[in-house]
Amino acid sequence: MEHLDLGPFPRVAGTVQLPGSKSISNRVLLLAALAEGETTITNLLASDDTKVMLDALAKLGVPFTRDGDTCVVTGAGGAFPAKQADLFLGNAGTAVRPLTAALAVNGGEYRVHGVPRMHERPIGDLVDGLRQIGARIDYEANEGFPPLAIHASQITIDAPIRVRGDVSSQFLTALLMTLPLVHAASGTTTIEVEGELISKPYIEITMRLMERFGVKVERDGWSRFRIRAGVRYQSPGRIMVEGDASSASYFLAAGAIGGGPVRVEGVGRLSIQGDVAFADALNQMGANVSMGDDWIEVRGIGHDHGKFAALDMDCNLIPDAAMTLAVAGLFADGPTTLRNIASWRVKETDRIAAMANELRKVGATVDEGADYLTVTPPAQLTPNAAIDTYDDHRMAMCFSLVSLGENGVAVRINDPKCVGKTFPDYFERFAALAQP
């Protein structure tokens, strides 16, 4: 399908059972592959990003069986059996970064590559960190970017490993997940983060999941992390993947814009994902939000004039869900400013530039900077805009919201199949809630 026409849909209501979290799914798959024992993973996300991770694990000699959203992985006990592999990882940062680290200490010859956009997403800070312990990694094209050629090498940890934290939290996640497998002279591996660590909730996810597999991370603030060295992950037996909190944001915003009630099931106050804080942001904007342990429900905007209260927010802790706030800003009573979002520049596309371009198509005035975006809504949205999605799943899902509510308009989403990266049946779920 080259495009999808939506709306307008004045009312939205219903319940959505969320697919598994992409961030948790790919972390759990790698931890289960490296662990000792058999791990049964339930509610595993079925998407492009998890497919490339599973394909990679198969090439690396890790046995698994999959039946629907359940996957049983037989762990390799700390090292992948295959010592040579060519791994195509699409545009999955949650696969490329952690696998690069794991392969660098695995003692083999590997090639890691992906789609053209992945070859524009930086990985140099992670490679620099791995080279500090003796890893041999070459760039095949542009310095600091995939494709990578990873070679067998002598890995030695005799000093703290330093890594930048202000480009992507996935670099630190990759080191944290891999380095427990490596012996260190002192018995402990230390990672020191240079600069501001962004997206801290994603590091929390990493540490919580590592602990489920028997490895505890100690930290001093967000600048120094310590792990016992030379240990093996142990399978927890069974582990369930939480619903995807980033994906929840579209349905929660839909409930606010389109009246609701809309309930999402699979995340709530017990979630380990930082993007559940999106519900607090909606609350600040005037939506009626209620939450249980594993569900969140939103009803329409509480303001008499039917518009969101404008928001000025530091979005460092919810970078993915913040994109939904940018589109919600179209329904606000003034300018909405999202700050501390520099990481958008190195995602599936340059999301600050992409959001600015597409928001202008529906009539918004947009001011963009290196790390912020201000959206001033129009008096009336421009109908029938053709929204380009830049092969970015979140662009497609965000802009579906333009079609909702009393002030929503018809909109065309180009290349809607890009949602397959994390949520292949998103538009079917969306249509089940939307009421013409």
Catalytic positions, please?
320
Judging by DSSP bridges, how do beta strands 295-301 and 336-339 pair with one another? unpaired
Per the CB < 8 A criterion, the answer to whether 348 and 374 are in contact is no
CA triple 331-337-338, angle to 5 deg = 110
Provide the terminal-to-terminal Cα distance of the chain, rounded to the nearest Å: 22
3-state secondary structure of 333: coil
Tokens linked to 264: 């999402």
DSSP, residue by residue, 89-130: -TT-HHHHHHHHHHHHTTTSEEEEE--TTGGGS--HHHHHHH
Distance CA 297, CA 279 (A): 9
Side chain identity at residue 180, one-letter code:
P
Distance CA 168, CA 298 (A): 31
Distance CA 215, CA 162 (A): 21
Helix (H) or strand (E) segment spanning residue 219: strand 217-220
Q: What are phi and psi of 313, to 5 degrees?
A: -140, 140
Look at the block and give the residue holding tokens 């595993």.
44
Distance CA 402, CA 330 (A): 8
Distance CA 18, CA 78 (A): 32
| DSSP summary character for residue 342 | G
Instruction: Please list the alpha-helical segments (H only) found in 105-225.
Output: 124-131, 169-178, 200-212
Instruction: Please list the alpha-helical segments (H only) found in 243-295.
Output: 245-257, 278-284
The CA distances from residue 377 to 243, 285, 309, 366, 433, in Å, are 31, 14, 12, 9, 25
The candidate with the shortest Cα–Cα distance to 350, out of 396, 399, 400, 392, is 392
The candidate with the shortest Cα–Cα distance to 401, out of 303, 305, 328, is 328
| DSSP summary character for residue 309 | P
